[in-house]
Structures are given as structure tokens and as C-alpha cells.
Amino acid sequence: MDEVKLLGFWASPFVHRVIWALKLKGVKYEYSEEDLTNKSELLLKSNPVHEKVPVLIHGDKAISESSVILEYIEQVWPQNPLFPKDAYERALSRFWINFASDVGMIFRSFYLSKEENREKSRREVIQVLQIVEEQALKDKNFFGGDNIGMLDIIYGSIPHWFEALEESVGVKVIDPNALPRLYAWAQRFKQIPVINHDLPPYQDLLLHMKRVRQRLISQPPNSSA
């Protein structure tokens, strides 16, 4: 049995996607924390193109990009499937996985928004999440139906991370009035033992997000952060 190693960063929601998938499938792995200000040889060698976490190392093979890693995990460890079997349903899941990137960009705009743009940005967040709520989550308990699936993992950065993001900006966006179903889902999602046991401590995350925000908004525009 080839060893599984995960290169990660404690505050990264993308790394947590991989952790959750591995845990849900009962896959044993070794976690290695990266200092992103001083990246390890192994990280630079395993992901030379992007030099980012997460990276999954399975035996001598390195896989980068969280969505690519998740597809790999699903194929190699098919127990407790996270994707639906039906080809069409699977295509729909992939569509919403891609959409999460669009959501992420809007989150980032909000995170870095200046006071004069904040309200507009806040409304954009609500709009995009309304699409997710109405078309992907709908009236289900989880995106995956009665149990969590790939989309719950993908959107799993909303419950904990986006809360910290809101607090670091100082504006609440996701509440039971604007996004009732998504809000309820977020509370439900955080209660799941596999998820719950692996969340970064909230106060640490908040501090981290405030620090990063300060750094990014004081940088000149168009810098790749």
C-alpha cells in the first residue's frame, strides 16, 4: 500500500477539502504543515508550476489543485462515494464545483473591498450565493442530498471561513433572512463530526484573515497575492 501524504496549510479551505474527502473515505494519510513564507523543497518539487498547497503525494506521485485531487481521491478510493453515479448528475456536480471558483472571486472582492465599494460588493456576494442556494442546494439537507457529497465539501469554506472573512471586513452578509437555506445548511455542515474535528480554531483563523487582509489592501494593485 502506497503511503499518502498531504502538504497543507492550517488556514486553507482548499486543504480542508482534501482532508475531509480523505477522512470520509477512511484513508490514512500523513499531514505535513507548510510554512508558506518558507516553502519546503518537497512542495516546490511536487508543484513547481504553482508552488501551492494542497498537494497530495501518493507513493511517488504528486497531485496538485484541490478539485483535481478530489477527483483523484474519488477514483482511487471509491468507498463512500462523493460524486453521484449518474453521468448527468455528475456533470451537474462538476458544474457547481466550477461555479465555486466564481463564488471565490466574488468573496475575494468583498474581502478586499474599500468602504466606497463595500455595499455593492456585499450585494454581489448575496446574489451569487442566492444562485447557489436556489439552483444547487435547493430544499435538500445537504448539497449531496441526505448525506454530504462533493459539493458540500467544495462549498464547505462558507460556514467557517466566510464567517471569519465577514468579521475581518466588519460586515455580516450570510444571515437567516437573506439566505435561509444556505445559512441552515452551514450550521448543519459544521455539526458533522468529520468536519467538526478538523476546523481551524476560529479565533486563530480570524486573526490570520485580518492580518492577510491588512497586508493585501496595503499592497499596490495588480500584485499577485
CB of 69 to other proteins, least distance (A): 7
Residue selected from 75, 177, 223, 224 as contacting other proteins according to rule CB under 8 A: 75
Residue 69 in the binding site for other proteins (CB under 8 A) = yes
Cell (9 digits) for 3? 503511503
> Rounded to an integer, what distance in angstroms lies between the CA atom of residue 24 and that of residue 21?
5
The residue count for binding other proteins (CB under 8 A) is 23
Amino acid residing at 165: L
SS3 helix, strand, coil % of the chain, rounded to 5? Answer: 55, 10, 35
CB of 131 to other proteins, least distance (A): 6
Residue 66 in the binding site for other proteins (CB under 8 A) = no
Q: What is the CB neighbour count within 10 angstroms for residue 176?
A: 11
100 CB-contact burial (10 Å; exposed 0-12 / middle 13-18 / buried 19+): buried
Q: Which has the closest alpha carbon to 85: 74, 69, 98, 99? A: 74
Residue selected from 99, 111, 162, 183 as contacting other proteins according to rule CB under 8 A: 99
Q: Which has the closest alpha carbon to 190: 162, 210, 168, 218? A: 162
Per-residue string for binding with other proteins, 102-141, x by CB under 8 A? -----------------------------x---x------
153 CB-contact burial (10 Å; exposed 0-12 / middle 13-18 / buried 19+): buried
Residue selected from 6, 18, 53, 63 as contacting other proteins according to rule CB under 8 A: 63
CB of 75 to other proteins, least distance (A): 4
CB of 87 to other proteins, least distance (A): 4
When the beta carbons of 32 and 67 are compared against other proteins, the nearer one is 67
Residue selected from 12, 46, 64, 168 as contacting other proteins according to rule CB under 8 A: 64
Q: Which residues contact other proteins by CB under 8 A?
A: 49, 58, 61, 63-65, 67-69, 71-72, 75-76, 87-88, 90-91, 94-95, 98-99, 131, 135
